[in-house]
Amino acid sequence: MIIAVNHLGRLDPALGFAVINRDDLTVLAAEKYQTHLLFKWAFRLVPGIFINRGEADLSALRQARQFLNKGGLLGVAPEGTRSNVGGLIAAKTGVAYLADKARLPVIPTAITGTESAVLGIVLFRRPPVKIVFGSPFVLPPLDRQDRSAALQRNTDEIMCQIAALLPMKYRGVYMDHPRLKELLEEREMAQEEV
């Protein structure tokens, strides 16, 4: 499966590895971290799949697809980078592309509190970090007639599923998306039925 998660802070990948107890978990990571002192060491322990964020890195996506086809669990931040605004930023279409090619479910995942966690740790304060996993879902196949629009639709679905798990202040550019409003209404109706 693919774990699609928002990305607020440098501790996000470590948090994922801490709460998911599987040996076959890896992440897509920016290739700049191959040479970063701390992250280089961490990726020796848990091999990541490095991707060039500045282009459509088909080689990295192929490697990710092969990993998934072997039964692995892949963590990906659809935004492609950490948000510097505290909420969701516009996502890239790579995760939707990968989900289509692999034909695997996506698990929407929301992390909050990591944007200030490092400072909290330095000040010897326990940071209020929270991770929420949503229900897995399968995206509709891409329409080959209008592939670009279908990729965007599926990307928006992934991000709205994540946004529905987040408190309002973290929803960012997806705050007013019609699909997010539908998901929130569905959740509210389901809670009323219980």
pLDDT at residue 35 in the model: 61
> Could you tell me if residue 9 is left (phi over 0), alpha (psi between -120 and 50 degrees) or otherwise beta?
beta
In 3D space, the residue among 145, 183, 158 whose CA is nearest the CA of residue 94 turns out to be 158
CA 127 vs CA 31, 88, 111, 112: distances in Å: 28, 20, 12, 10
In 3D space, the residue among 102, 85, 106 whose CA is nearest the CA of residue 155 turns out to be 106
Encode burial over 133-148: b for 16+ CB neighbours within 10 A, e otherwise.
ebeeeebeebeeeeee
pLDDT at residue 176 in the model: 97
pLDDT at residue 177 in the model: 98
How far apart CA 61 and CA 110 sit, in angstroms, is 23
Q: Residue 28: beta bridge partners?
A: 49
For the chain (194 residues), the mean pLDDT of every run of 10, in chain order, is: 89 72 79 59 63 77 90 91 89 93 94 71 70 95 92 98 96 97 93 78
pLDDT at residue 107 in the model: 96
